[in-house]
Amino acid sequence: MALTAAPNSRVINISGPSGNGKRTLAHKAIDKRPDTFTLAVSHTSTRSPRAGERQLYGTSKASIVGAAMNGLVVMLNIEPNGGQQIQAEPSVDACYIFIKPPSLDALGARLRSCGTESDADVQRRLARACVGLEIAGKWGSYDKPIVNDDLEMAYRELEEFAL
């Protein structure tokens, strides 16, 4: 059974390598248009939990259904392999955006600039990014690729596509 949503709602899977700005872009959309955008509740094990998160993996289908029923654009912040799983789920009708780093060097610099990752963690995340970029290239089912080399430009592309 497919999700029943208000006519003006959309589910958008924002996918891309970890640390590439998916969360930043989603939160920017919510901050600018809180009556339009919301973020599905996700659980992750690819990094240590942030404040208020549990150490689980996946996305709460209930959060998607609830927000979609209220006519919101529901954004899922998911790495590429999770995007494939969402697309395979017949009860979720989503659009797919892939956020790509300008380069792996740029992604590594972003991860290091946060100051929250050890060198080993950065290397592990870059290795996962390589796998994610490979999956995205093979999968080829994204509706909108966005290179996140300029946050404002990337946000405008996201907003234009989503609305």
Superfamily of domain 10-162: P-loop containing nucleotide triphosphate hydrolases (3.40.50.300)
For the cut 60, the answer to whether the pLDDT of residue 93 exceeds it is: yes
Q: Kindly report, residue by residue over 45-55, the tens digit of the pLDDT.
A: 556 666 766 65
Measured distance CA(97)–CA(103) in Å, rounded: 18
Average pLDDT, the chain: 80
Measured distance CA(13)–CA(22) in Å, rounded: 10
Measured distance CA(74)–CA(35) in Å, rounded: 11
- Print burial letters for 48-66: b (CB count within 10 Å at least 16), e (below 16): eeeeeeeeeeebeeebbbe
Give the type of residue at 109.
A
| pLDDT for residue 148 | 94
The full set of domain ranges for the chain reads 10-162
